[in-house]
Amino acid sequence: MTTGALQQNLVFRFKSRAAKQALEADSFQIIEANMEKHYNGKHLVRNVIHNGISFRMIVVKGSSSDHIPEDLEDKSIGKTIHMSLARTKKEFYENLIEVLNVIQNEERVISICSNDMTYEYGYTRLKEMPS
């Protein structure tokens, strides 16, 4: 692909003033955040009931604990918090099954999803769980 074709493709894909200015200045800095669908820190929090056990679950888009939002309604202070980092749908599912086998009442589950596809899968799975 030639530089001109690459420039046209980038302008077409991003259609932003900053992208156009970067292309005109011949500086090809593409910020990863522009290509992501969900921002880091986007989350869904629900109280879930599984096999008669009530717990709070959070699915977060991000890659570190800094992306976990503060949960003002959380009443599990001093209780166990189960954390997992899922990079694929399979990892999310395996982590979820493992947690559901050991979870106790009033505990908390935090699943950090490092990419959009995994976050969307985790979001959907949490929405499907009974509350």
DSSP state of 62: S
Q: What is the three-class DSSP state of 121? A: helix
Task: Pick the more confident residue, 87 or 76.
Answer: 87
How many percent of the chain have pLDDT more than 90? Answer: 30
Contact status, residue 60 vs residue 86, Cβ threshold 8 Å? no
Domain coordinates of the chain in residue numbers? 3-35, 43-128
pLDDT of residue 31: 40
Give the type of residue at 2. T
pLDDT, one tens digit per residue, over 83-111 is 888 999 999 999 999 999 999 988 889 99
pLDDT of residue 3: 46
- Report d(CA 122, CA 117) in Å as an integer: 9
Q: What is the three-class DSSP state of 32? A: helix
Q: Do strands 53-61 and 43-50 pair parallel, antiparallel, or not at all (unpaired)?
A: antiparallel
The residue assigned the tokens 């694929």 is 88
Burial class (CB in 10 A: 0-12, 13-18, 19+), 40: middle
How many percent of the chain have pLDDT more than 70? Answer: 67
The residue assigned the tokens 């985790």 is 122
Taking the complete model, does pTM exceed 0.85, yes or no? Answer: no
Contact status, residue 113 vs residue 59, Cβ threshold 8 Å? yes
